Amino acid sequence: MKTVLLLGATSDIGQALADKYAKEGYTVWLAGRNTNHMQDIAADLKIRHEVAVEYYKFEALDYVSHQKFYTDLPGIPDITVCIFGYLGDQEKAESAWDECQNILDTNYKAAVSILNIVASSYEERSVGTIVGISSVAGDRGRQSNYFYGSAKAGFTAYLAGLRNRLFKHNVHVLTVKPGFVDTKMTEHLELPAPLTAQPSKVAGAIFKAVKKRKNTIYVLGIWWLIMTIIKSIPEPIFKRLKL
């Protein structure tokens, strides 16, 4: 029975992924801060899908604990999905370093810290799949969210380098750019429906992309076109736009 480890399992995308992989017969390992919530998720999945589901306490920003967290797992997961993130408050972060640091640390440093450990174990075994949830916000910096976007840009570059390093070791690395997703993290935003995916859509796209060993996916294809256009705008024009 194959095993998937979900880092950030209580997020909406994390729960959708847990449901998808449990439905497909995988053993699911949930990892996150809220153990009570994970206990409820695990109980529900066991009843509905009759699969093994375990949950483990994981603190993304406690880098020192990452090695012990991974070593204490009952085995090496076949697939590891890094889901956790923090959108943050762009305006607040422009003047409050704590908010800015939290955005940068959660979306980049914490992800790199735990995935470095996972990558080394997969490289040693010459097998495994790493999935990183990045963002279209990382494709080009914009005034509306450039702290979050710059952290995700770094994470996208990290995943690309990891893919380049691990390809020869038969380890698959997938970068996911969901675009807008209807989740608790974005519930305060007015998102255009045609450009917004449900978490179940994201989970389904990830499951298929892992099976096909794809490198990078935009969950909604329209986002590839949008970001291609945005990236092609010359900087002298781009800097005058309100984006």
Within the chain, strands assigned E span 3-7, 27-32, 53-57, 79-82, 129-133, 172-177, 180-181, 196-197, 216-218
pTM for this one? 0.95
CB 215 within 8 A of CB 176: no
SS3 content of the chain, % helix, strand, coil (to 5): 55, 15, 30
How many Å from the N-terminal Cα to the C-terminal Cα in the chain? 46
Residue 32: which H helix or E strand, with range?
strand 27-32
How far is Cα 33 from Cα 48, in angstroms, rounded to an integer?
24
Angle, in degrees to the nearest 10, between helices 110-125 and 146-166: 10
How far is Cα 87 from Cα 77, in angstroms, rounded to an integer?
28
Per-residue pLDDT of the chain (243 residues; tens, 9 = 90+): 899 999 999 999 999 999 999 999 999 999 999 999 999 999 999 999 999 999 999 999 999 999 999 999 999 999 999 999 999 999 999 999 999 999 999 999 999 999 999 999 999 999 999 999 999 999 999 999 999 999 999 999 999 999 999 999 999 999 999 999 998 878 788 888 889 999 999 999 999 999 999 999 999 999 999 999 999 999 999 999 988
CB 162 within 8 A of CB 147: no
CB 71 within 8 A of CB 122: no
Instruction: Return the active site residues.
Output: 148
CB 37 within 8 A of CB 57: no
